[in-house]
C-alpha cells in the first residue's frame, strides 16, 4: 500500500482526524457566508485510496460530526447554505432526495420547474384552483378566455 494511504485508515476503518486535516487542506473559508468552499469544482470527490473516493460534503458531515451517513439512494447530504461547494458541517444536514427537491423548489432553485413557484400569471391573474388548468404547465383560464375572444374578434 502506498504511504499516502496509510493515514486514512486504522485497522481498516477510516481515520476521522486524518480526514478532517485533508478536508481542511481542500478548502477556503468565505468569511462573508461562513462557507468552507472546496477548491476547484463543486461536489469534489476526496480520494481515500484503493480506488475509493467520497464526495467532500458527505465526508465532511461524517468527519466533523460523527453522524453515520447512509448510502446515496437512502440519504442525501443537503446544503442549508445552498452552496454546493460548501463543506462546513454546520451548513449540512441529512435528508432524502424528496426533501432536497422540496427545498430547491421552495427556494426557487429547481432547474426543472421554476414556473410552478409563481403565484400569478404573466398578466397578473392569481393561480387559484378555479382559475388554473394544467396542460403540461399551468394555464391561466382568464388569459386563455381573453385570448380566445381576441382571436374571434380578429377573424
Model pTM above 0.85: no
Collect all residues with Cβ–Cβ distance below 8 Å to 26 and sequence separation of at least 6: 38, 39, 44, 46, 56, 87
Provide mean pLDDT across the span 140-147.
91
Identify how many contiguous H helices and E strands the chain contains and give both numbers. 4, 10
Phi and psi (nearest 5°) for 9? -130, 150
pLDDT of the residue at 9: 46
pLDDT at 134 over 70: yes
- Beta carbons within 8 Å of 70's beta carbon, 6+ residues apart: 94
pLDDT > 70 fraction of the chain, expressed in percent and rounded: 78
Query: Higher confidence at residue 63 or residue 2?
Result: 63
Please give the pLDDT value at position 3.
37
**Confidence category of residue 145, pLDDT binned at 50, 70, 90:** very high
Looking up cell 432526495, which residue turns up? 97
Q: Tens of pLDDT along 46-105? A: 777 677 778 888 888 888 988 877 877 778 899 999 888 899 999 999 998 888 878 877
- What does the pLDDT read at residue 41? 62
What's the pLDDT at 91? 94
Reply yes or no on whether the pLDDT at 7 is more than 60. no
The reported pLDDT for the residue numbered 34 is 93
- The model's confidence at residue 141, banded by pLDDT at 50, 70 and 90, is very high
**What is the residue extent of each domain of the chain?**
3-113, 118-155
CATH fold group of domain 3-113: Homing Intron 3 (I-Ppo) Encoded Endonuclease; Chain A (3.90.75)
* Cell numbers placing 87: 463543506
Q: How far is residue 18 CA from its own chain's centroid?
A: 27
Amino acid at each position: 500500500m502506498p504511504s499516502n494511504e496509510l493515514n486514512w485508515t486504522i485497522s481498516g476503518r477510516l481515520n476521522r482526524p486524518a480526514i478532517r486535516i485533508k478536508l481542511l487542506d481542500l478548502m477556503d473559508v468565505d468569511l462573508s457566508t461562513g462557507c468552507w468552499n472546496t477548491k476547484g469544482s463543486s461536489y469534489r470527490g476526496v480520494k481515500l485510496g484503493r480506488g475509493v473516493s467520497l464526495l467532500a460534503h458527505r465526508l465532511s458531515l461524517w468527519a466533523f460530526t460523527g453522524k453515520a451517513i447512509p448510502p446515496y439512494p437512502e440519504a442525501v447530504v443537503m446544503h442549508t447554505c445552498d452552496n454546493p461547494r460548501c463543506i462546513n458541517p454546520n451548513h449540512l444536514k441529512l435528508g432524502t432526495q424528496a426533501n432536497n427537491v422540496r427545498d430547491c423548489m421552495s427556494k426557487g432553485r429547481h432547474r426543472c420547474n421554476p414556473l410552478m413557484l409563481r403565484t400569478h400569471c404573466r398578466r397578473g391573474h392569481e393561480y387559484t384552483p378555479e382559475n388554473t388548468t394544467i396542460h403540461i404547465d399551468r394555464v391561466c383560464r382568464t388569459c386563455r378566455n381573453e385570448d380566445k375572444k381576441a382571436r374571434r374578434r380578429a377573424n
